[in-house]
Chain A
C-alpha cells in the first residue's frame, strides 16, 4: 500500500474512533490553530514572501488575519451550530420530536491553491474541523515554501493522524484522488475542477469547487470615477493580479476609456511608485510558466501603460490595454496577472449581453451611482457573487456564502456555510412507541375505510 493510501486509511480509522466528534475536541483543535497563527506569524509571512513576494503587510492583512478571524468566528458560534435544529411538525408527527441533526461527513480532502496559499488551505480547514471531520490537506506545490511550512506546522499544533498534510505534484494528487473521501473541497482552475469531479464521481463524493473565470467590471458613466478607479486598481493589482476575485477586465463607454486609463495610472503611481519593480508592496508572478503566459497575452495589444516584464525576477509591470478585441487571447482565458484590458461598450445592455455570452464568472463588479443600473446589471446576469461600487469585498463578509456557478464552480463556503457543507444534515423524527389513532387510519385493509376526500 502506498504511503498516501496508508495516510488516508489511518485518517479514516481515526475518524471511526469518534475522536473528532466531541465539541471540546473540536474547540481545542481550533484554539491550537489560533495559537499557531499567533506564534508562528513570522514564519508564515516569510513563506508567503518567498513564494509570491508578498510583503509582510499584505500577508497579514490579506491572508493571516482573515484566517484568524475565521477561526474566531467558528469558535464563537460552534456551540450553537452543533445543536439539533428543531423543525415545525404536522398533525401526523405532533407526538414526536422532529429535528435536523448535524453530523460530520468523515474524511474530508482539501486541495489548496497557490495564489493565497495560506488562507485557501486554512479557511476550509477551519470549517471541516468545526464540523467534526478528519481532514487530509493537500496544499498547492506551486507555492512551495508555504506547502512545506504547513506540513511542518500543522502536526505541531493539530493531531497529526487526524489532520495529515500531503505534499506533492500532479502524480501525488492523482493518487490521492483514487482514495475515497466524504467531501472534497478544491480551489483552482476550471479544467482541474472537472478532473476532480470526475474522480469524485467514482466514490459518489460530494464536492465544493471554487474555480475561476473572467470577472467583469462594468463602469457606468454615472459614477465617481476617481473612487471607482482607485478601488479597481487595488483589487486588480494585489498579489500581482493573481487572485480569483480580481476584476479581470473593464467594460465601459468609449468616452470614458481615456479617463479610466489616466486615473488608474495615477493610482498605480500612488500605490507602487513610478517603477513598481522597486516597490516593496508589489508582488511577483508565481513561476516562469505563468510569467510567460501572461506576457504573451500582452503581445499585439495596444498598451496604454506598462507592458514590460523581467523574467529573472518574474516581474510584470502593472499593464493597461485599450481598445481590446474580444476575440484576442487576453479575452479567452482568466488573466490571473497584472494586465487590465479595457473593452468598449456603448450601453449597459451591450455590457450585459457581452457578459452573458461568456461563461459565468466567479464575481461581477459594477460601478454606478444609479441604483437602477446596479439593479439591472445584477438582475440580468449570473455570477458566483457580486460587489457593487467596489471589488472583492463580498468575499470578506462571513455571512455571505462564497462560491461560483457554472464554470466558476459549485457549492460555497465561509462562516456557517462551511460548517454546513462539511456536515451531513440528517433529518430525524423520534416518536414514542405507543399505539396511536393514526395507526388504525393508515394500515390496510383500505377498502373498509371511508373515502379520504
Chain B
C-alpha cells in the first residue's frame, strides 16, 4: 500500500506543467514563507518552547532570524541566481555560446529532524523553492508542536499543487522512501543517512545528507581560559546540547583542564544561575528515550560540573565530565545533550592523532592565541566545517557552504549553495551551421595532416590568450 502515490503524482503533474519555473512564481512562494514567519511568530516561539523548552532568545537567533535571512537572501538574489552562467571557451568554440543553465530537479523530498525543527525545515525549503522545484516535506514527528504548525499552517502560505507535507514516524518514512523523488535532502544521523542513500540508489536519486558525529574541541595551553570557557559553554549548552555542530568533547592537557574547570563553572553559573534547572534559558531533552540515553552517560568518568537530572522535566544539568576514557560509552556516540567530556592529551600532535583515528566530524574547533596552532589543526585534520576560537559561528555566514564529509555527510547548502544544491547544472553549447570548413577537419577519412591544425583549435589556451584564425 503506497498512500503517497496520489500526492506525488499531482506534484509531478504540477511540475510538468512548468508552473514553478517562472521567477515570479518562485518569488511569490518565498513571499508566502515570509508572511508565514511574520504572522505566526508567537505560535512558532510557543511551539519551540513546548517541544524543546527553547528560550525565545535562542529561538530568535537560531531559528527565526536565520530563516528570515535565508528568505530575504533568496528574494534579493533570485534573478541573478537563475541567470545562465556563461563560461569561457576554447578556440574551436569561440563563435559559439556556452553556458551553464541551472534547472530544477522536479519533485524534491526534504526530511527534517527535531532539534531545530523550524530552521531545518525552512532553510532547505527556501533553496528548493528558489530553484523551482515542487517539494514534499517530512518534518520530524518528535517535535510535535512544530510538526503541527508545519502541516496545518504552512501549506496555506504556499501553492498547494506544488507543495505537500507528509507526517509519520520511521514506518511511514520507509514507505515514503520507496517512491521515486528527483532529489532527497536529509538531515539526521548517519545510520538513517545510510538507509536514505540506499533507498535513493534504487532510483539513482541525487542526495544531500546532513549528518553528524563527535565534533572535537581542542583547547591549547596558550589561551585565555575564561574566554574559551564562555564560548565553549555557550555552544555546548545551547539548545541543551542538541545541536549537530556543538563541540562534543574537549581535548586539552591536564594543566589546561585545571584552568578550564573553574572557568566553565563560572560560565555555567553566569549563564544559568546557581540552579540551572530554574533558568528559563536552558532547554530540555526532546524525549524520554533521549533523556534516558543521556542520563546513562552521566556516570562516565566523574562529573566535575553538574551531573544532575530530573526525569519529570527531561532536564539534564549542564555537565562537564573528567577522567573519561576513550572506551567509555560517552565517547562512542554523538552525545547530543548538555554533557561535555574532557579528555587529556599531552600535545597538539596527540590531539590530532586522536581526531584522525575517528570518523570525520561535522565541525571541528580549535582554541588558541597562537594562529599557527589553529592553522596546524586545520591542515592536519578533516571535518565538514572548522572554526578557530569560537563555536558554530561559521554556520551563520551564508557565504560559507554548510555540510559534512565522510560519516558526517555529503553535499552542502545555505545561501546560494542551497540554490545550486537543488538545481541541475546543465552544460549547454549553442553552435551555428557556419564554420563547417573548420569542422570538416574532424571528419573521416582521417588524414594525418589535419590533426595538427585540429588539435591547435581544441587546445585550451591560457587565460587571456586567444588567437582567432
Interface residues of A (CB under 8 A from B): 16, 18, 55, 57-58, 60-61, 65-66, 69, 72-73, 76, 87-90, 92-93, 96, 98, 100-101, 103, 105-106, 182, 190, 193-194, 197-198, 200-202, 204, 206, 209, 211, 223-224, 227-228, 230-231, 234, 270-273, 279-282, 356, 369, 374, 378-380, 382-390, 393-402, 405-407, 409-412, 424-435, 439, 442-447, 449, 452
Q: How would residues 416 to 450 of chain B score, 1 for a CB under 8 Å from any chain A CB and 0 otherwise? A: 00000000111111111100100110111111100
Nearest B residue to A193 via CB reads: B204
Contacts of A16 in B (CB 8 A): 356
Query: In the complex the two chains form, is B204's CB within 8 Å of A402's CB?
Result: no
Contacts of A384 in B (CB 8 A): 426-427
Contacts of A434 in B (CB 8 A): 224, 227
Taking A92-B396, A426-B384, A452-B57 as given, write out 19 further A-B residue pairs in contact, using a Cβ cutoff of 8 Å, ordered by the A residue number. A65-B455, A65-B458, A103-B382, A106-B382, A198-B201, A202-B198, A204-B190, A378-B428, A385-B429, A390-B431, A393-B429, A399-B88, A400-B100, A424-B382, A428-B388, A434-B224, A445-B281, A446-B56, A452-B65
* Known A427-B402, A433-B369; contact A409-B431, beta-carbon cutoff 8 A: no
Contacts of B281 in A (CB 8 A): 444-447
Query: In the complex the two chains form, is B396's CB within 8 Å of A386's CB?
Result: no
* Known A197-B204, A211-B204; contact A443-B271, beta-carbon cutoff 8 A: yes
- Cα–Cα distance between A155 and B65 once the two chains are bound (Å): 55
Rank and list the top 5 A-B pairs by shortest CB-CB distance, nearest first. Answer: A400-B427, A57-B446, A197-B201, A446-B57, A399-B87
Query: In the complex the two chains form, is A428's CB within 8 Å of B396's CB?
Result: no
Contacts of B18 in A (CB 8 A): 380
Query: In the complex the two chains form, is B60's CB within 8 Å of A61's CB?
Result: no
- Cα–Cα distance between A384 and B458 once the two chains are bound (Å): 22
Nearest A residue to B65 via CB reads: A452
Is B200 an interface residue when CB atoms closer than 8 A count as contact? yes
Give the interface segment out of B113-121, B147-155, B298-306, B406-414. B406-414
Query: In the complex the two chains form, is A410's CB within 8 Å of B204's CB?
Result: yes
The contact sample of 19 A-B pairs, CB cut-off 8 A, is A72-B459, A76-B462, A90-B396, A96-B390, A103-B382, A204-B209, A230-B440, A378-B101, A378-B428, A382-B103, A394-B427, A397-B429, A400-B98, A428-B394, A433-B368, A442-B234, A444-B234, A445-B272, A446-B280
- Cα–Cα distance between A299 and B223 once the two chains are bound (Å): 79
Chain B: number of interface residues, binned into ranges:
35 or more
Contacts of A98 in B (CB 8 A): 394, 397, 399-400
Query: In the complex the two chains form, is A397's CB within 8 Å of B98's CB?
Result: yes
Prevailing SS type, chain A contact patch: mixed
CB distance from A322 to the nearest CB of B (A): 24
Contacts of A442 in B (CB 8 A): 61, 234
- Cα–Cα distance between A443 and B236 once the two chains are bound (Å): 12
Contacts of A197 in B (CB 8 A): 197, 200-201, 204
Contacts of A69 in B (CB 8 A): 458-460
- Cα–Cα distance between A219 and B61 once the two chains are bound (Å): 56
Query: In the complex the two chains form, is B446's CB within 8 Å of A385's CB?
Result: no
CB distance from A386 to the nearest CB of B (A): 4
Contacts of A281 in B (CB 8 A): 444-446
* Known A100-B401, A426-B405; contact A444-B371, beta-carbon cutoff 8 A: no
CB distance from B8 to the nearest CB of A (A): 16
